[in-house]
């Protein structure tokens, strides 16, 4: 048997030549997929990187590497598919299955997914560069706008990929489909009204600017730093470093305290003295606490110290003052200093703080 006859020998409907070419192709792709992906990423990186800039090709490859490997494998599989004699139909349980048709659609779908993943990762890389530039500017609006724009580009890429799959792969009439959305638009709006409300909330946040990325806010007892404003929700890093996600609809529909924009922090609390405290002692304690608040370098000039009310177990004194900073650490430090001063004043005046007590009186009968 000659070499040509050997190459033309048929095995399961495929010639030895076809099987050999496909085997070599897949072997090369699987062996060199990492190196090939790096080379492709390097070429892609040079398309939009400017000379003289910092070389960030390693970071680019870190993001795009795996999607590029996946795409390379899908390209190799599709080429193999075109080289082999895949049967049009396969009979299984007396039913004809359109093998060639379904494999063709599946591979094209995987190719589209691969390209979309690459574009999304490239968008993330560009977003990181934009964030670096935004960090250099004084405006905080850039830090808030860049993640929002990147998310928007990702959504558009997914929508375009979906439309491409419908039109180019499944041969659907995309124009008619888009036109038909107008008929079912009301039903879609009703089904997605919560998402639409959050989307409108995000636009309200950008237009009204109640806060920007980096601001410290207090919302429904959640105190933390705004890290990201997205289409649906806003991420807040709390003081205990937990990550809280709040729907944008809730943020624009309820009172929110932007602590960063405030010039002071307010402290308001009560202390309770025992009922055996004499009036002159009470007046002296109030005067001394008021003097401490006036003299402290980090409080304002209008503190309030008043005998407020009689409670079940104490004589209640209201204390209110403002700390001349919105810095949380300084606020806590000032409160601690003043609390120690109050403790010393109460002890120096010979009385004590009250705590819940109950007096039981027992009377003996005759």
Give start and end residues of each alpha helix (H) in 259-363.
279-295, 328-348
Rounded CA-CA distance 156/159 in Å is 5
Cα–Cα distances in Å, from 61 out to 22, 68, 117?
28, 9, 13
Rounded CA-CA distance 194/228 in Å is 20
Rounded CA-CA distance 20/14 in Å is 10
Q: pLDDT digit of tens for each residue in the chain (366 aa)?
A: 676 766 767 777 777 778 888 888 888 888 888 888 888 888 888 876 766 566 788 888 888 999 999 999 999 999 998 888 878 777 777 678 788 888 999 999 999 999 999 999 999 898 888 888 877 777 666 777 788 788 888 888 998 998 888 888 888 777 776 666 555 554 555 555 677 787 788 888 888 888 888 888 999 889 899 988 887 889 999 988 899 999 998 988 888 988 888 888 889 999 999 999 999 999 999 999 999 999 999 998 789 999 999 998 899 999 999 999 888 889 999 999 999 999 999 999 999 999 877 777 777 765
Is 29:72 a contact under the CB 8 Å cutoff? yes
Give start and end residues of each alpha helix (H) in 165-231.
174-181, 185-191, 193-208
Rounded CA-CA distance 111/77 in Å is 10
Structure tokens belonging to residue 244: 């809280």
DSSP secondary structure letter of residue 216: E
Give 239-243 contacts, CB < 8 A, sequence gap 24+.
239/328
User: Residue 181 has what pLDDT?
Assistant: 56
User: Residue 265 has what pLDDT?
Assistant: 87
Question: Residue 302's closest CA among 317, 316, 284, 322?
Answer: 322
User: Residue 246 has what pLDDT?
Assistant: 92
User: Residue 285 has what pLDDT?
Assistant: 96
User: Residue 186 has what pLDDT?
Assistant: 47
Structure tokens belonging to residue 191: 């089904």
Q: Is the pTM of this model over 0.85?
A: no
User: Residue 293 has what pLDDT?
Assistant: 95
Is 267:323 a contact under the CB 8 Å cutoff? yes
Structure tokens belonging to residue 341: 């001063």
Domain segments of the chain as ranges: 3-171, 190-258, 265-348
Question: Residue 276's closest CA among 331, 357, 219?
Answer: 357
Residue 317 β-bridge partners: 271, 307
User: Residue 3 has what pLDDT?
Assistant: 67
Instruction: Write out the DSSP string of 289-317.
Output: HHHHHHH-TTB-S--EEEEEEE-SS-EEE
Rounded CA-CA distance 285/296 in Å is 17
**Packing angle, helices 279-295 and 328-348, rounded to 10:** 150
Rounded CA-CA distance 275/356 in Å is 12
Instruction: Please report, in angstroms and rounded to a whole number, the separation of the first and last CA atoms in the chain.
Output: 132
Is 315:286 a contact under the CB 8 Å cutoff? no
Rounded CA-CA distance 211/218 in Å is 11
User: Residue 37 has what pLDDT?
Assistant: 86
Structure tokens belonging to residue 271: 């202390």
**CATH class, range 190-258:** mainly beta
Question: Residue 343's closest CA among 335, 334, 354, 352?
Answer: 352
265-348: CATH topology: Alpha-Beta Plaits (3.30.70)
């Amino acid at each position: 048997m000659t070499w040509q006859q050997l190459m033309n020998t048929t095995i399961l409907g495929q010639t030895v030549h076809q099987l050999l070419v496909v085997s070599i192709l897949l072997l090369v792709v699987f062996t060199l997929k990492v190196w090939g992906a790096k080379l492709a990423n390097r070429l892609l990186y040079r398309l939009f990187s400017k000379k003289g800039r910092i070389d960030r090709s390693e970071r680019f490859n870190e993001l795009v590497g795996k999607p590029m490997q996946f795409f390379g494998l899908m390209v190799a599989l599709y080429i193999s598919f075109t080289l082999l004699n895949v049967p049009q139909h396969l009979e299984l349980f007396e039913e004809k299955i359109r093998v060639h048709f379904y494999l063709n659609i599946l591979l094209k779908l995987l190719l589209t997914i691969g390209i979309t993943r690459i574009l999304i990762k490239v968008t993330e890389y560009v977003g990181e560069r934009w964030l670096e530039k935004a960090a250099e500017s004084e405006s905080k609006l850039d830090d808030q706008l860049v993640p929002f724009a990147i998310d928007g580009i990702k959504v558009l890429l997914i929508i375009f990929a979906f439309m491409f799959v419908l039109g180019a792969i499944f041969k659907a009439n995309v124009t008619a489909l888009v036109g038909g959305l107008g008929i079912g638009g009301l039903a879609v709006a009703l089904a997605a009204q919560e998402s639409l409300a959050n989307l409108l909330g995000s636009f309200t946040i950008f237009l009204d600017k109640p806060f920007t990325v980096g601001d410290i806010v207090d919302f429904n007892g959640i105190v933390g730093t705004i890290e990201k404003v997205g289409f649906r929700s806003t991420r807040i890093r709390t003081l205990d470093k937990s990550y809280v996600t709040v729907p944008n609809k809730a943020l624009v529909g309820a009172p929110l305290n932007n602590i960063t924009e405030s010039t002071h922090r307010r402290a308001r609390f009560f202390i309770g003295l025992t009922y055996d405290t004499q009036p002159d002692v009470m007046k002296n304690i109030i005067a001394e606490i008021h003097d401490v608040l006036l003299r402290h370098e980090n409080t304002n000039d209008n503190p309030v110290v008043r005998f407020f009310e009689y409670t079940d177990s104490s004589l209640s004194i209201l204390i209110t003052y403002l700390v001349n900073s919105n810095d949380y650490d300084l606020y806590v430090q000032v409160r601690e200093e003043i609390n120690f001063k109050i403790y010393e004043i109460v002890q120096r005046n010979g009385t004590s703080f009250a705590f819940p007590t109950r007096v039981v009186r027992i009377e003996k009968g005759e």
